[in-house]
Amino acid sequence: MAERGKKTQKMCEKCGKEFASITVVQVIGGKKKKFRVCESCAMKVGLEEQMRVADIKEKEKKRQIKQNESKMYDLVSKMSREESRERKMVCTTCGMSYFDFKRELKFGCPDCYEAFKTKIAPIIHKIHGAYKHVEHEEQLETSGAMLPELKTRLKIAIEDEDFEEAARLRDLIKESRNDLG
């Protein structure tokens, strides 16, 4: 029988063999659960929890690796298909492929411009603000025959939000109309 004023030691709630010296608190599903355990069971409970967490982390890591492998496979497949298409796109005059052009950054002959037009036109437009190279503005003929091209270039400049180029083209169109009549 326990003496008054002295706490009686409880037995471990896990093994029931040793005195409980540690209180373990677990939160499961938002509910707290307290239990008293001996040192050896506390170690086991701690290790079990750590192993459970490590297992969850390991599964998540494997899932991410598998997902990344899938993305890499898709990317490599896409690159391979694109490279294959670029190798098949060949200038009939000099035999240079678009793939070779990208690697060397030089054309094999003047006909390469036409052979690779679909690929290089957006690049040229981005660099020059137009699909056609114009050395000096004064060389740009602003006759009535040029109006459709100027309007097309104006539309593209607006779509690309190149407002300075759009304003310049607008002024050229206006000037051309004034010259015509």
List pLDDT tens digits, range 25-53: 777 778 888 888 888 887 777 656 766 76
Q: Would you say residue 124 lies in a domain?
A: no
Measure the CA–CA gap between 28 and 143, rounded to whole angstroms. 81
Residue 63 domain boundaries? 22-79
Measure the CA–CA gap between 87 and 82, rounded to whole angstroms. 9
pTM: 0.35
DSSP, residue by residue, 43-105: HHHHHHHHHHHHHHHHHHHHHHHHHHHHHHHHHHHHHHHHHHHHHH-B-TTT--BHHHHHHH-
Question: What phi, psi does 9 have (nearest 5°)?
Answer: -80, 135
**pLDDT tens digits, one per residue of 149-160:** 788 888 888 888
Q: For residue 181, name the pLDDT band (cuts at 50, 70, 90).
A: low
Amino acid, single-letter form, for residue 68: N
Q: Would you say residue 155 lies in a domain?
A: yes
Q: Would you say residue 161 lies in a domain?
A: yes
- Give me the number of domains the chain comprises: 2
* Cβ neighbour number for residue 101 with a 10 Å cutoff: 20
Q: How far apart are the first and last CA of the chain?
A: 120
Domain finish residue from 79, 101, 117: 79
Q: Do 58 and 38 form a contact (C-beta atoms < 8 A)?
A: no
Q: Would you say residue 5 lies in a domain?
A: no
Q: Would you say residue 10 lies in a domain?
A: no
pLDDT at 64: 93
Q: What token pair was written down for 114?
A: 């036409």
Residue 81 has pLDDT above 90, yes or no: no
Q: In whole angstroms, what separates CA 77 from the centre of its chain? A: 16
Q: Would you say residue 114 lies in a domain?
A: no
Q: Residue 89's closest CA among 105, 112, 122, 108?
A: 112
Measure the CA–CA gap between 19 and 17, rounded to whole angstroms. 7
Q: For residue 145, name the pLDDT band (cuts at 50, 70, 90).
A: low
Across 54-73, average pLDDT = 88
Q: Would you say residue 11 lies in a domain?
A: no
Q: Would you say residue 159 lies in a domain?
A: yes
Percent of the chain with pLDDT over 70: 78
**pLDDT tens digits, one per residue of 86-129:** 888 899 999 999 888 888 888 888 888 888 888 887 777 777 66
